[in-house]
Amino acid sequence: MSDLLSYLPPVRGKMRPKVPLESFTSLRVGGCAEALFEPEDSDDLIHFLRRRPLEIPVTVLGAGSNVLIREGGIPGVVIHLGSWFQRVFQEGATFEVGAGIPVAEFAERAAQEGISGFEFLATIPGTMGGSILANAGCFGRSIQDILVEIEAVDFCGRIHWVSAQKIDFGYRTSTIPADWIVVRSWVCGKVLPSHLVLRTMEELRATRAATQPTEVCTAGSLFKNPEGQSAWKLIDTAGMRGARLGGAEISPKHANFLVNRHKATAADLETLGENVREKVHHATGVSLEWEIVRLGLPSPQFPAWEAILLQQREGE
C-alpha cells in the first residue's frame, strides 16, 4: 500500500501516519486515522487544504464527544484543531472564540469575567466548532442564541465569513456546509455579577449529573428526539433501557445514552444502537435517527493512493 504522507503537501504543524483515535473520543473506541494533521495555525490549515490532492478525503475531529469511530479507522487525513484554535479574546460582552476550545471551558472563562448567556455551555462536552455546526444545546438554549458570526475555511482552502443571521439553524442542525471547517466564531452575552453566573452554571451541572450518566464513557444523546416526542421514552417503551451487548450498554440512568460500560468495541456499540432502533420501530412505528455521528470503516482497508491519483491524472 502506498504511503499517504508522500502525496501530501508539507505543513508546519504535526502530520502523523496511523494514529489510534480511541483517545480522541469520549467513547474510547475506534481505529486509526490514516493520517492525523494538527495544523500550527489557520494559515497552515489553509495551505494544506489548498495544496492537497482533492481525491484524498479529509475528516474534521473535534472533542470526539458525539462520534463513534469504527475499528477500521478513517481513510485520508483527519484534521484535529490544536492549541492555536483554542484562543479566546474579549471585548465587552462579546468574545472571539477559537473553534478548538471546549465549550465548557469557554463558559467557565466567560463566567469568571462576569458575562452571562453562556451558562448552558458548561454541560456540553464538545468544542465550539462542532457545537456550532450541530447547533448544540440544552436546557432550552442553543448555539444560535449566542452566535454573532463565524469564520470558516472550506475543504479547498477558501475563507468564508458569515453572520449568524444568514445561517438557518434547526434542532441539532445548521445550514453551514459539511465541507466547511469553522475556525473562529464571535458570540455575545450580557454583563452580570460573576458569582451569579457561576451559581447558575453549578446548578445546571448538578442537574445534568443527576439525570445523565456523566461518570462513564458515553457520547451524549444516542438518537435525536423525533418531533413532539422524546427518544428516551420511546426506548423505554421498547424495553431497551439497560440493554447490553458485549461491553456496550443503554444507560439505566438515561435510556437515550449509549455507554461503553466495559471494554466495548465500536461494533458492540453500533450494533446495540441499531438493535434499539429496530426494537423501537417494531414497538412504536417510529424510526429513530442517530445523533451520534458514525465515522470510519468496519475493517482497515485504506486505499492505495498511487493508483487513485494516477487514474485521476490520466482522466484529465
Span 193-225, pLDDT tens digits: 999 999 999 999 999 999 999 889 999 999 999
Task: Please tell me whether residues 190 and 106 are part of one structural domain.
Answer: yes
Residue with cell 467557565: 108
Interatomic CA distance for residues 256 and 218, integer angstroms: 11
Is there a single domain that holds both residue 286 and residue 232? yes
157-170 per-residue burial string, b: 16 or more CB within 10 A, e: under 16: eeeeeeebeebebe
- Calpha distance 303→301 (Å, rounded): 6
pLDDT digits (tens, 9 = 90+) for 58-84: 999 999 999 999 999 999 999 999 999
- When pLDDT is averaged across residues 230-251 and rounded to a whole number, the result is 97
Tell me, what amino acid is at 156? C
Q: Is residue 244 part of a domain?
A: yes
Domain boundary among 196, 225, 259: 196
- pLDDT beyond 60 at 314: no
Active site residue: 28, 109, 141, 172, which one? Answer: 172
Find where cell 446495540 sits.
272
pLDDT in the model for residue 98: 98
> Where is pLDDT greater, at 315 or 157?
157
- Element spanning 314, H or E: helix 305-315
Query: Average pLDDT for residues 28-35, to the nearest whole number?
Result: 96
60 lies in some domain: yes
Tell me how many degrees the CA angle 96-180-153 measures, rounded to the nearest 5.
Answer: 60
User: At which residue does the C-alpha cell 452571562 appear?
Assistant: 116
pLDDT at res. 299: 85
Q: Is residue 12, in this structure, part of any structural domain at all?
A: yes
Strands 32-38 and 14-20: antiparallel
Taking the C-alpha atoms of residue 200 and residue 236, their distance in angstroms, rounded to an integer, is 31
Assigned domain for 2 exists = no
Question: What integer pLDDT is reported at residue 307 of this predicted model?
Answer: 81
Does residue 139 carry a pLDDT above 80?
A: yes
Per residue in 169-178, pLDDT (tens digit) is 999 899 999 9
Cβ-proximal residues to 249 (8 Å cutoff; 6+ apart), any chain: 242, 243, 258, 259, 261, 264, 272
Average of pLDDT values for 177-204? 97
Rg (CA), the chain: 20
Question: How wide is the angle at C-alpha 13 spanned by C-alphas 9 and 18, nearest 5°?
Answer: 75
CB 135 within 8 A of CB 124: no
pLDDT classification of 303: cutoffs 50, 70, 90: confident
The mean pLDDT of 11-33, rounded to a whole number, is: 96
Chain-centroid distance of CA 316 in Å reads 36
Is 98 in the same domain as 125? yes
What's the confidence (pLDDT) of residue 1?
A: 42
**Claim to verify: residue 72 and residue 93 sit in the same structural domain:** no
Same domain, 92 and 177: yes
Domain of 90, CATH number, reads 3.30.465.10
- Grid cell in block for residue 37: 494533521
Tell me the residue range of the domain where 12 lies: 7-83
Residue 12 has pLDDT above 90, yes or no: yes
Contact call for residues 175 and 150 (beta carbons, < 8 A) = no
- Which of 21, 52, 83 marks a domain boundary? 83
Number of structural domains the chain divides into: 3
Strands 293-295 and 173-174 come out as unpaired
For residue 313, pLDDT beyond 80:
no
pLDDT class of 315 with cuts at 50, 70, 90: low
172 is catalytic: yes
112, 184: one domain? yes
Is 202 inside a domain boundary? Answer: no
Neighbours of 50 (CB within 10 A): 13
What is the CATH number for 268?
A: 3.90.78.10
Q: Is residue 246 situated within a structural domain?
A: yes
Kindly state whether residues 90 and 191 are assigned to the same domain.
Answer: yes
Q: 254 in a domain, yes or no?
A: yes
Helix, coil or strand: residue 83: helix
Is 231 found in the same domain as 151?
Answer: no
78 lies in the same domain as 95: no
Report yes or no on 225 lying in a domain: yes
pLDDT digits (tens, 9 = 90+) for 261-277: 989 999 999 999 999 99
Amino acid at 38: E
Q: Which of 116, 131, 174, 221 is catalytic?
A: 221
Query: Is 285 found in the same domain as 187?
Result: no
**In the predicted structure, residue 2 carries a pLDDT above the cut 80:** no
Average pLDDT, the chain: 95
Do 52 and 91 fall into the same domain? no
- Both 98 and 178 in a single domain? yes
Copy the grid coordinates of residue 308.
487513485
